[in-house]
Amino acid sequence: MDIRIRPFLEVDTDRLVEILQLNGQYDYPEVEGPEAMKRVAACAAAVFLVAECEDRPCGFIKAVYDGSRALIHLLSVHPDVQHHGIGQQLVEAVGAELHRRGAPSVSVTVTDASAAFWVKQGFVHLPVYLLLKSLP
């Protein structure tokens, strides 16, 4: 399968929302939806990459580097093309970009279901929790 990794484009939003929905990752549209995607793309601290398969988005990854810490917030690959190395290529590409920007390491937010994938990518468990507070 020919896979191309490139920066996010606004025309990707509908397809990326579809991928999130298919993967059960669209619980917070205000954080993951089209408007949020546009904000992330406009943020200088963010890295937002899309994988294309047959000229169509088939996965994406979002990360941020604030000059001190780098964090991968989200990785999602279309269910029809999972287990073809697309997630791994996205992780490698975002890692390379974060390193180019000066990040000494990268962390990732995960679920119990996705932790094994991230361990295979070389990540280790940290004794921390991610908490959420909605703002008014």
- Domain map of the chain by residue range? 3-120
Q: Residue 108: is it exposed, middle or buried by C-beta count within 10 angstroms (0-12/13-18/19+)?
A: buried
- Sign of CA pseudo-dihedral 89, 95, 99, 105: negative
- State the DSSP code for 83: T
Residues 44-73: pLDDT tens digits? 999 999 999 999 999 999 999 999 999 999
- What CATH architecture applies to the domain 3-120? 3-Layer(aba) Sandwich (3.40)
pLDDT value, residue 47? 98
Pairing relation of β-strands 70-77 and 3-7? unpaired
Residues 74-117: pLDDT tens digits? 999 999 999 999 999 999 999 999 999 999 999 999 988 899 99
Report how far residue 85's alpha carbon sits from residue 87's, in angstroms, rounded to the nearest whole number. 6
Residue 1 pLDDT > 90: no
Report how far residue 135's alpha carbon sits from residue 11's, in angstroms, rounded to the nearest whole number. 29
pTM reported for the whole predicted model: 0.93
- State the DSSP code for 67: S
